[in-house]
Amino acid sequence: MDSKQNGSTCSLVESILRAHGYRTGFFSSPHLVSVTERIRLNGTPIDSTKFATYFWRIYNRLLNSRDHPYDLPAYFNFLTILAFNVFLREKIDVAIVEVGIGGKYDCTNVVRGTKTVGITSLGLEHTALLGNTIEDIAWQKAGIIKNNSDVFTVRQPEGCLDVIANQCQEKAAQLHLVPDFDSYSWKRKPNLNANNLAIKLNTSLAIQISQNWISRTRPELLGRNDGSLSEMFSRGVESCFWPGRCHQIHKGNKRIFLDGAHTVESIEICSKWFQSCQRKENPKVLIFNATGNRDTRKLLAILSKHVHFDRVFFAPNIATQSTSNIDAINHNFPSDEQMRRCEENAQLWREIMEQRNSLHVSVASVQPALDGVIEQIDNSYMQHQECDILVTGSLHLIGAVLTALKMESQVITPS
């Protein structure tokens, strides 16, 4: 499964198949709080003791088979090997595997016998690695298509479907464009967590992928072909929990909305989601950070267009300066570089506000850690019955906020 909405779609597939009685394994990235979140068995992150057992078994095996002192896989590659080993030893029925970056050259693509493939909505992302045009990116994503597989995708930007179709033709694969969510007939229609187009598209894609896998492995579970989806599909959709994506939590008077959106398309969806959930009378607060080569001016412009924020905080993906969660350290983006980006983003926000010439004034500030942001919010709005807080721009930011709030358990079960 690949592209920027792959995590939520994979999570839906996992939940639907588990509702049908499959023993599931799910490999995803990145994690929010703990690396164990990346490997899930039957919908739950692998426990730390079992993770450690598998880790040392694989690490020592690789260490003892080296031809060179540095002949060990990199972080993500190692975790991919680890996940596959866990799935084999735990005797799961089905593995749902989320691609890391791209597809064709991603290490998860080592699996050659995949018969059911999904490609979510494409956009310009990771251009330094995948190419500068949407067609280049589509070619990379279509690299996960295997010989004689069934390939499911959604409506795509112009040019993308042709690239995917050409790859299907080369691999003798069958391409399926999924129907609109509202076109399904249900025994009981499920309630969706957020009623927006992206979630409906992802859910439809997940339904088609799940149906295909069930028809290949346990067709009797689909029952009579009367054209309607069973209660098990409804239950799978409703029970799906994917933390950090359209995810709402509460603490004290704070209504906190978490979404790791980091592309133009996903920030647009996130903004509209928050706009539909926020309460008019509540103060609005934005906590934002973005790493890598994101065009943050575009992202911030979208956020400012949809919501009038009273306070805006820019902070690195650091929960607190006093302690450090080793699983939260990002060696690709050190804290000093993140702080520099935060200062730049704060200045960009001020420029956007000046250009809008709006009567509404939002105060922008930079903090070195997120516990300081939470403290400032509490001090500013303690007299209010509620305040609405949007946290977005990076999935790593979501994890750091949960840690700063001491709400790490939210990555396992919703509040």
**For residue range 30-81, what is the model confidence (pLDDT) as tens digits?**
999 999 999 999 999 999 999 999 999 999 999 999 999 889 999 999 999 9
Neighbours of 4 (CB within 10 A): 19
Confidence band for 3, pLDDT divided at 50, 70 and 90: very low
Beta bridge mates, 39: 27
- 150-153, strands of its sheet edge to edge: 116-119, 150-153, 174-177
Q: What is the pLDDT of residue 197?
A: 66
pLDDT at 414: 66
Mean pLDDT of 241-260: 93
Three-state secondary structure call for residue 35: helix
* Segment among 49-63, 138-152, 314-328 with least mean pLDDT: 314-328
**CATH topology for the 247-412 domain:** Protein-Tyrosine Phosphatase; Chain A (3.90.190)
Q: Which long-range contacts (CB under 8 A, 24 or more apart) does 53-59 make?
A: 54/82, 54/85, 54/86, 54/89, 55/82, 57/85, 58/82, 58/85
Strand ranges in 196-266 using DSSP code E only, listed in sequence order:
228-229, 247-251, 254-259
Tell me what the mean pLDDT of segment 103-116 comes to: 94
Token pair listed for 90 = 């735990």
Q: Which pLDDT does position 122 carry in this prediction?
A: 87
Please name the residues in contact with 392: beta carbons below 8 A apart, sequence gap of 6 or more.
Answer: 258, 259, 260, 261, 262, 267, 270, 286, 287, 288, 303
More confident residue, 324 or 378: 378
Structural contact between residues 20 and 232, judged by C-beta atoms closer than 8 angstroms: yes
In the predicted model, what is the mean pLDDT of residues 278-302? 93
**Which architecture does CATH list for 3-22+93-239?**
3-Layer(aba) Sandwich (3.40)
Question: Which of the four pLDDT bands, split at 50, 70 and 90, describes residue 335?
Answer: confident
First to last CA, the chain: 28
Residues of the chain with CATH 3.40.1190.10: 3-22+93-239
Confidence band for 2, pLDDT divided at 50, 70 and 90: very low
CA dihedral 414, 125, 40, 54 (to 10 degrees): -140
Whether pLDDT at 86 is above 60: yes
- In the structure, what pLDDT confidence band is assigned to residue 359 with cuts at 50, 70 and 90? low
| Chain centre distance of CA 414 | 16
Q: Which of 21-30, 117-126, 156-165, 250-259 has the lowest mean pLDDT?
A: 117-126
The answer to whether residue 225 scores a pLDDT higher than 80 is no
Q: Is the pLDDT of residue 325 over 80?
A: no
The residue assigned the tokens 């902070």 is 315
- The amino acid occupying position 348 is L
C-beta neighbour count of 46 within 10 angstroms: 23
* Mean pLDDT of all residues in 345-370: 88
Query: Residue 383, exposed/middle/buried by CB under 10 A (0-12, 13-18, 19+)?
Result: exposed
Predicted confidence (pLDDT) at residue 7 exceeds the cutoff of 60: yes
Read off the tokens for 180. Answer: 């609109």
pLDDT value for 322: 79
The pLDDT of residue 331 is above 70: no
Residue 337: CB partners within 8 Å, gap ≥ 6? none
Q: Give CATH 3.90.190.20 domain extents, the chain.
A: 247-412
pLDDT at 125 over 90: no
| Mean pLDDT across the chain | 91
Cα distances (Å, whole numbers) of residue 148 to 281, 364, 404:
55, 53, 48
- At position 125, the amino acid (one-letter code) is E
Sign of CA dihedral 90, 326, 346, 310: positive
- Among the residue ranges 37-46, 72-81, 315-324, 387-396, the one predicted with the least confidence is 315-324
What's the pLDDT score for residue 409? 87
| C-alpha span between 404 and 389 (Å, rounded) | 14
User: Residues of 280-308 as b/e, b for ≥16 C-beta within 10 angstroms?
Assistant: eebbbbbbbbbbeebebeebbbbbbebbe
How far is residue 75 from each of residues 70, 107, 345, measured CA to CA in Å?
Answer: 13, 11, 29
* SS3 state at 350: helix
152-170 average pLDDT score: 94
pLDDT at 310 over 80: yes
